[in-house]
Amino acid sequence: MIFNILNTVRDSIKGIKPYSSARDEFNGDAETYLDANENPYSSVVNRYPDPMQIELKAAIAKIHAVALDEIFLGNGSDEVIDLCYRAFCEPGLDRVVAISPSYGMYSVSAEINNVQLDNFLLNNDFSLDVERLIDFAKGAKFIFLCSPNNPTGNTIPKTDVVAICQAFNGLVILDEAYIDFSTDESLIPLINQFPNLLICQTFSKAYGMAGIRLGKAFGDSSIIAWLNKIKPPYNLGTLTIDFALNALKNTTHFEAQKEEIIRERTNMFDFLSNSPAILKVFPSEANFILVRVESANNLYAQMIKKGIIVRNRSNQPLCENCLRITIGTPQENERVKEFLKTQL
Where do contacts with ligand PLP occur on this chain (CB under 6 A)?
76-78, 103, 146, 150, 175, 177, 202, 204-205, 210, 215
Kindly state the smallest distance separating residue 75's Cβ from ligand PLP, in Å: 8
Distance CA 79, CA 82 (A): 5
Kindly state the smallest distance separating residue 223's Cβ from ligand PLP, in Å: 18
Distance CA 238, CA 44 (A): 8
Which lies closer to ligand PLP via its Cβ, residue 205 or residue 265?
205
Which lies closer to ligand PLP via its Cβ, residue 150 or residue 182?
150
Burial class (CB in 10 A: 0-12, 13-18, 19+), 311: middle
Q: Give how far Cα 41 sits from Cα of 29, 30, 47, 50, 206, Å.
A: 18, 16, 9, 18, 37
Which lies closer to ligand PLP via its Cβ, residue 137 or residue 146?
146
Distance CA 107, CA 115 (A): 9
Kindly state the smallest distance separating residue 310's Cβ from ligand PLP, in Å: 15
Which lies closer to ligand PLP via its Cβ, residue 103 or residue 126?
103
Which lies closer to ligand PLP via its Cβ, residue 9 or residue 80?
80
Kindly state the smallest distance separating residue 286's Cβ from ligand PLP, in Å: 8
Kindly state the smallest distance separating residue 27's Cβ from ligand PLP, in Å: 27
Residue 174: its H or E element:
strand 171-175
Contacts of 36 (CB under 8 A, 6+ apart): 21, 22, 23, 47, 48
What is the number of the residue whose Cβ is closest to ligand PLP? 76
